[in-house]
């Protein structure tokens, strides 16, 4: 299996949750990284840890929908690969305000593909042959599964939310730029990520912090919706495998083989916190409250990653339980980070119920 050596890597969204994990890994192993991030509410330089001060890391604060900024960044840094992770990614926010999702996920991806194509076309033959553009997407583009079955490479797209529809559009653009312009794009789709540095609007960190403060733990509907969870470092392993060993035009699916009902995830968080930091008031499951469900809430996601495992030699290294324990430990030890990233942006309030007439 051939491995491509990358010299300079442009990472979009590198101050976000998954993006910062990618940047920390790349810089830690000695790669030179150009980090393009708009530093929205979900992007934070603190998430980069020691990578932020390394001479291997360069932060370019820019919007991927800004064509002029992208042209300047490509001309200045001349990357040999792009890992495109920048995205608006919270379903509830997409229900309340879909405009930002179209602008970043669709228009931003289009502008990035266009600039990458222009830059790639001007490279010498050997550099053009080794250039890669990895477009990082989600399993939510496939819609909702019933009680059986898995998403695989043959699953048709059936997005159900403004978020997933915007990511589906971006996926189609990425593939079109491969087939029409021969830009060497690789597409990846992943299941629900969790781990350190995740902004506390997502389920697991939201539950951890609410439980620590003795607040109610809101669970949508009856909590029966199922997600396949992957620890973020395992996803990073997969993305780098796709970058270095993947084939242009191919799609790779990354899942953790860890399906859990939402209510069971919340209960697992409660049990871990009860063990690691007991609450004098009693077991934290008492805080669970069932609330009005999200509009159009997909029932179940699950990824069959067996083909990807065979093609890339990748597999998840963490069980759900191992990853969750590491995650809870991290949030217990980094409450200052949690307070700072939420300050003025988000304080745990319910999103995603706005209905416009």
So which residues are the catalytic ones?
139-140, 163
**Residue 192 contacts by C-beta under 8 Å, 6 or more apart in sequence?**
227, 228, 229, 230, 301
CA distance 288 to 216: 6
Q: What is the DSSP string of 38-107?
A: ---TT--GGGGGGGGGSTTEEEEE--TT-HHHHHHHHHHH--SEEEE------HHHHHH-THHHIIIIII
Q: Shortest CA distance to 201 belongs to which of 299, 276, 336, 94?
A: 94
CA distance 257 to 72: 41
Query: What's phi and psi for 32, nearest 5 deg?
Result: -90, 130
Identify the residue whose tokens are 């553009």: 133
Judge contact between 286 and 346, C-beta under 8 A. Answer: no
Helix (H, G, I), strand (E, B), or coil: what is residue 198?
A: coil
Inter-CA distances, 317 with 3, 17, 96, 239, Å = 21, 19, 36, 14
Tokens read off for 48: 């980069």
CA 131 to centroid of chain Cα atoms: 23
């Amino acid at each position: 299996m051939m491995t491509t050596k990358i010299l300079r890597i442009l990472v979009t969204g590198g101050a976000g949750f998954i993006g910062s994990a990618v940047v920390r890994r790349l810089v830690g192993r000695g790669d030179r990284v150009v980090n393009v991030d708009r530093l929205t509410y979900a992007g934070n330089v603190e998430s980069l840890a020691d990578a932020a001060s390394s001479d291997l890391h360069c932060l370019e604060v820019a919007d991927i929908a800004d064509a002029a900024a992208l042209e300047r960044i490509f001309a200045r840094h001349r990357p040999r690969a792009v890992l495109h992770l920048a995205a608006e990614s919270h379903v509830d926010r997409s229900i309340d305000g879909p405009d930002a999702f179209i602008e970043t996920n669709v228009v931003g991806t289009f502008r990035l593909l266009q600039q990458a194509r222009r830059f790639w076309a001007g490279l010498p033959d050997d550099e053009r042959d080794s250039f890669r553009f990895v477009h990082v997407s989600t399993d939510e583009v496939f819609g909702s599964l019933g009680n059986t079955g898995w998403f695989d490479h043959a699953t048709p797209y059936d997005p159900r939310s403004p978020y997933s529809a915007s990511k589906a559009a971006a996926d189609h653009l990425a593939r079109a730029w491969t087939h029409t312009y021969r830009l060497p794009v690789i597409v990846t789709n992943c299941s629900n990520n969790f781990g350190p540095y995740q902004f506390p609007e997502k389920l697991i960190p939201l539950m951890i912090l609410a439980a620590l403060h003795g607040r109610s733990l809101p669970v949508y509907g009856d909590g029966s919706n199922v997600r396949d969870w992957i620890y973020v470092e395992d996803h990073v392993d997969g993305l780098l495998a796709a970058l270095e060993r993947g084939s242009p035009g191919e799609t790779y699916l990354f899942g953790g083989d860890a399906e859990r009902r939402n209510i069971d995830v919340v209960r697992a968080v409660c049990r871990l916190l009860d063990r690691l930091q007991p609450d004098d008031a009693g077991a934290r499951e008492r805080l669970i409250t069932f609330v009005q469900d999200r509009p159009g809430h997909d029932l179940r996601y699950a990824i069959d990653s067996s083909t990807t495992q065979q093609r890339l030699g990748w597999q998840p290294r963490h069980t759900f339980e191992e990853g969750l324990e590491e995650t809870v430990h991290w949030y217990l030890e980094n409450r200052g980070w949690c307070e700072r990233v939420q300050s003025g942006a988000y304080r745990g309030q319910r999103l995603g119920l706005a209905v416009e007439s």
